[in-house]
Amino acid sequence: MTAASLVGIFDALMPLGIKIYLDLVLEHKSLLQVFDGFPLWTKPFTSMVVSFLPAGIDILKTSWMIPVGIIVFMLTQGAFNYIATYLTVLVNVSLTTQVKRDLYAKLLGFEPAYFDRSNTGEILARFGGDVDMAINGVTDMLKSSLVRTFSVIGLSLTLLSISWKLATIALVVLSTIFIPLAFMRKYLKKVSQTTLENMSLLSSHYTEALQGNRVIAVFHLFNAKLAAFESSIKGLRHIALRLATVQGAITPIMHSISGLGISLVLWFGTGLMQSGEMTTGGFASFLTSLILLYTPIKSLGNMSTQLQLSYLALLRVYELMDRVPALQFPTTGADLSTIEQGITVKNLSFQYRADLPMVLKHVDLFIPTGKTVALVGSSGSGKTTLAHLLLRLYDAVEGEILFDSHPIQTLTKETLASLSCAVFQDNFMFVGSIRENILLSNPQATETELWQAIDAAYLRDFVNSLPQGLETPVGERGVLLSGGQKQRIAIARAFLKNTPLVVLDEATSALDNQSEAVVQQAIDSLMRNRTVVVIAHRLSTVMNADTIVVMAHGSIVEQGTHAQLLADGGAYANLYNAQFKEPLPVAVPSPTAFATELLAP
């Protein structure tokens, strides 16, 4: 701040140097006579300058010192400007780094419902672009504002010290520049908001092109996606042209006001020189100060636009920083290391948004410890939603879930994570190696524990066949791996975590006939001695479950064993007959057959 302030103050020194030099050379005045022409309020400064000069010095013979002094002042100003610029960048980088770190921490703590409502492009724009725009704008504008503020103050004082009459005329004319800026302020706010929204939309297009490149290629969506992108970018172009129209109108207005001020100063200044009230050096210095003063003022239009964008981006950053996640976990809670009795679901109801229908309606269910419970039903029946509630990815709007006798909301995030894990239909792979992706569930695992999990998931042969072994990169989202390979890595990840509750959400859907023989024992081993919740569309994969729960329209319509439900001839029997066309014998398959069928496509 000090360096930026000095940069602005030094702007006023050059015009004063010009006045002193011209009065000494052209008017043949002594230095004391020149200083006597300054107002009384400047006497402390002029006296200080005189006190530094050697006694008896002939200023006329050493007048060359003033141009040299101006050069020294300009070099000094440049040095301070360098310091101010460096410190601005330093503060900018430090603030941006810290804010992005804090925002990323907030992002990681947001509940899944937040991401359900937001698109990836908007998130990238708000968590990345807004931070850069806000911090860069604030720090750059702070430096520029300090420089220009102290420059305006210094130059205004210079004008007043030379001629208060001309200074009054110039400053009155100058103040009218703020009138069009006041009219433009509300318009700039609206345009800036629209600009930020369109930038988020552009980010969404880029994200879709990256993540949906295969769909775009298969369905030949090149023209359609390009047309959508062009529509968005034309919107930004239209906004930019509207903004340029307003700024283009203000710029000539400011130039006209500047020209009017300079013309009036020339008109009245000529009279003051002719009357002897102002010296030639004073008039030249006044004009120089006035031109320097108008230069930063004329840039206020562009500054207003940048300031408005930075201000709105900063508000959006504060909005994210102040947002409280909907899912709140206690810092202390029940110390559960295992599930002794089971999980109880009582009168559970859930909807994703208040304006959407209920997905679950008054669901009651008991999942005994060490048993396998299968959730079956048509798409949209609420199976996956119930599993997500068991993992506390969402909170129910009514009812409760109890781990033994403890409500799930009373468990800390660490406790819940130690009790449960999941293998999903599409298991996400993070950028990194196979080792890193398996160790995500237990970073402190030893090398022995890691290889035990790899063996349990039947991954050793695959890993050993790779030149880089466990250090083989998986690519973004695991694109370098097959579905079965990703599935086995996810299973190894679950083995390494070793939790009492395992949720398998269509976990075998990525496996083909060739893969199932390799991983069938891994799945069977993962399910052994654990409480397992299996979600499946194909009934052949869950016939050996201890309890089969049939769901429809968000409610449980039946539950029991495969044999019991088939004998009842209800909803499960209808689903079974629809899948197999002809009723099959009511025989419970062996554990080995169950594992094989569980992995069937």
Residue 416 counted as domain residue? yes
Has residue 149 got a pLDDT over 80? no
Residue 433 counted as domain residue? no
| Sheet containing 531-535: order of strands | 420-423, 501-505, 531-535, 372-376, 547-552, 555-560
Residue 400 counted as domain residue? yes
C-alpha 392 chain-centroid distance: 25
Average pLDDT of span 28-37: 60
Q: What secondary structure letter does DSSP report for 95?
A: H
Please tell me the predicted confidence (pLDDT) of residue 529.
Answer: 82
Please tell me the predicted confidence (pLDDT) of residue 32.
Answer: 59
Both 317 and 404 in one domain: the answer is no
Please write the tens of the pLDDT for every residue from 477-536.
777 888 778 888 888 888 888 889 999 887 666 555 566 556 556 666 777 788 999 888
Residue with tokens 């201000």: 311
Both 254 and 388 in one domain: the answer is no
Mean pLDDT of the chain: 78
180: left (phi over 0), alpha (psi -120 to 50) or beta: alpha
Helix H or strand E segment including 295 = helix 280-298
Q: Is the Cβ–Cβ distance between 528 and 594 less than 8 Å?
A: no
CA-based Rg of the chain, rounded to a whole angstrom? 38
Please write the tens of the pLDDT for every residue from 408-457.
999 998 899 889 988 887 778 888 899 999 998 888 889 999 998 888 88
Has residue 26 got a pLDDT over 70? no
Half-sphere exposure of 87 (CA within 13 A, CB side): 13
Has residue 238 got a pLDDT over 50? yes
> CA of 373: how far to CAs of 222, 470, 502, 527, 574, in Å?
45, 34, 11, 11, 20
Q: At what angle do helices 483-497 and 513-527 cross, to 10 degrees?
A: 10
Both 257 and 310 in one domain: the answer is yes
The Cα 150–Cα 153 span in angstroms is 5
Decide which of 130 and 66 is more confident. Answer: 130
Both 403 and 286 in one domain: the answer is no
Both 237 and 348 in one domain: the answer is no
Among 273, 291, 322, which residue terminates a domain?
A: 322
Query: Quick one: what percent of the chain has pLDDT higher than 90?
Result: 18
Residue 488 counted as domain residue? no
Decide which of 56 and 423 is more confident. Answer: 423
Decide which of 445 and 241 is more confident. Answer: 445
Please write the tens of the pLDDT for every residue from 346-365.
999 999 988 889 999 999 99
Both 197 and 282 in one domain: the answer is yes
The Cα 142–Cα 4 span in angstroms is 9
Residue 525 counted as domain residue? yes
Decide which of 237 and 464 is more confident. Answer: 464
Among 290, 322, 354, which residue terminates a domain?
A: 322
Please tell me the predicted confidence (pLDDT) of residue 383.
Answer: 92
Tokens representing residue 19 in the block: 């006045």
- The CA-to-CA distance between both ends of the chain, in Å, stands at 67
106 Cβ contact partners less than 8 Å away, ≥ 6 residues apart: 320, 321, 323
Has residue 582 got a pLDDT over 60? no
How many residues in the chain? 601
Both 309 and 180 in one domain: the answer is yes
Please tell me the predicted confidence (pLDDT) of residue 36.
Answer: 60
The Cα 479–Cα 431 span in angstroms is 10
Residue 455 counted as domain residue? no
The domain in which residue 533 lies consists of 342-426+501-598
Question: Which of 542, 560, 558, 541 lies closest to 550, judged by CA?
Answer: 558
**Count of domains observed in the chain:** 2
Residue with tokens 């930026």: 4
Has residue 235 got a pLDDT over 70? yes
Both 298 and 402 in one domain: the answer is no
Both 361 and 316 in one domain: the answer is no
C-alpha 205 chain-centroid distance: 17
Q: For residue 572, what is the domain's CATH number?
A: 3.40.50.300
Among 293, 322, 351, which residue terminates a domain?
A: 322
The Cα 573–Cα 560 span in angstroms is 12
DSSP three-state, residue 373 = strand
Average pLDDT of span 341-350: 94
Tokens representing residue 315 in the block: 């508000």
Half-sphere exposure of 204 (CA within 13 A, CB side): 16
Burial (0-12, 13-18, 19+ Cβ within 10 Å), 88 = buried
- Continuous H helices in 408-480: 413-419, 434-439, 447-456, 460-464
Has residue 118 got a pLDDT over 90? no
Q: Is the Cβ–Cβ distance between 529 and 370 less than 8 Å?
A: yes
C-alpha 152 chain-centroid distance: 37
Has residue 561 got a pLDDT over 90? yes
Residue 431 counted as domain residue? no
The Cα 222–Cα 359 span in angstroms is 36
pLDDT band at 207 (very low <50, low <70, confident <90, very high): confident
177 Cβ contact partners less than 8 Å away, ≥ 6 residues apart: 253, 254, 257, 297, 298, 300
Residue 489 counted as domain residue? no
Both 317 and 346 in one domain: the answer is no
Both 71 and 210 in one domain: the answer is yes
Decide which of 223 and 302 is more confident. Answer: 223
Residue with tokens 């009017």: 260
Please tell me the predicted confidence (pLDDT) of residue 591.
Answer: 40
336 Cβ contact partners less than 8 Å away, ≥ 6 residues apart: 403, 404, 406, 411, 415, 419
Where does 506-590 show beta strands of DSSP type E?
531-535, 547-552, 555-560
Average pLDDT of span 39-46: 56
Both 275 and 405 in one domain: the answer is no
Q: For residue 265, what is the domain's CATH number?
A: 1.20.1560.10
